[in-house]
Amino acid sequence: MIAFAIIGTSWIAEEFFLASRCTDLTLRSIYSRDAQRGQAFAAKLNQPNADIFTSIEALALCENIQAIYVASPNSCHAAQCEILLRHGKHVLCEKPITVTPQELANLQNLAQEKNLIFMEAIMYLHTPARELAKKALKSLGNITTAHFDFSQRSSRYDALLRGELPNIFNPALAAGAFNDLGIYCVYPAIDFFGMPEKITSAMHMLHTGADGAGAAILHYPSKLITLTWSKLGQSRGVSQIMGNDGTLTIESISQFQGIALGEQSLAAPLKKFEIMQYEAQAFCDYILGRASRVSYQEACKLALQVSKIMEQVRNSA
């Protein structure tokens, strides 16, 4: 078993814990800036024996911990991951793994130097649905158009309208709709079609300085891929990849669920923690040497490409 710690006490950290129970991971520690919050989270997970840390440095020095799942605010990722990697910890970090591609490249080099696993937590990347979709693309014929959308009205939007500043709309935390939702559209676009020749984009900026919604067009020699994202309204449509011989639809681009080729469903629905089990187990398999090192390197390469595209989308908006 791999002893691991969780940084963060949010709902996504809870979902990851549920996912970890069916893998080689065993929870030993929880980090929170507030000890009482960490203890409450441990109680919620029914893990009363988990050690509670309020210092990243102390957690990084803990010899009983081999790996860390990072679910802190986006702005904390790079600094926390660097400390953990320098102290010999394997790291699985929530998206976006870093704010800039340069930060990511530096940390990937550090992980390589120390022979450590450093992964971005993107659910679909390790699910069987991804390979089913890639196989289905071959039956679509000439693909000229695709549209990936993740528009979900934030539960914190009303608080913003009341004049509050929720974390998800706080640019100081590197938050906003693109980092939170748009990244799920960028990943399959680059995974399926590679790097574009040109990008055009626009964002609806909120008074806080964070984006609330946006759109981007990825230009390829023979196709246009459009991406849309929003935390201000709820989409009722689907993402789709269109070819002259058929269309692949995806109901949930973040979880990569509801995939259909025409009227034919390609994958049975899963609960979110079940989908997260795939990334958690992939993390374990890479650490334990049970998975191909080539597939790990490909995931690292894709993460860096996505980070570069996200920077270009921000800069062209």
What is the band of 154 on the pLDDT scale with cuts at 50, 70, 90? very high
What six digits make up the tokens of 59? Answer: 């957690």
Fold of the CATH domain 2-121:
Rossmann fold (3.40.50)
What amino acid occupies position 29?
Answer: S
Strands (E), 136-245: 143-151, 198-205, 211-219, 224-230, 239-243
Tell me which of 3.30.110.30, 3.30.70.20, 3.40.50.2020, 3.30.360.10 is the CATH number of domain 125-270.
Answer: 3.30.360.10
110: three-class secondary structure by DSSP: helix
Pairing mode, strands 67-70 and 90-94: parallel
Q: Which long-range contacts (CB under 8 A, 24 or more apart) does 158-162 make?
A: 160/206, 160/208
Q: Which residues contact 31 (CB under 8 A, 6 or more apart)?
A: 5, 6, 7, 8, 38, 52, 53, 54, 56, 59
- Contact in structure between 100 and 314 (CB atoms under 8 Å): no
89-119 pLDDT, tens digit each: 999 999 999 999 999 999 999 999 999 999 9
- For the chain, which residues make up each domain, given as ranges? 2-121, 125-270
- The DSSP secondary-structure symbol of 17 reads H
239-273 pLDDT, tens digit each: 999 999 999 999 999 999 999 999 899 988 888 88
Determine the average pLDDT of the residues in 123-137: 94
Determine the average pLDDT of the residues in 8-32: 97
Residue 227 CA to chain centroid, in angstroms? 16
- Burial of 258 per CB tally in 10 Å (0-12, 13-18, 19+): middle
pLDDT in the model for residue 168: 96
282-308 pLDDT, tens digit each: 999 999 999 989 999 999 999 999 999
- Global pTM reads 0.96
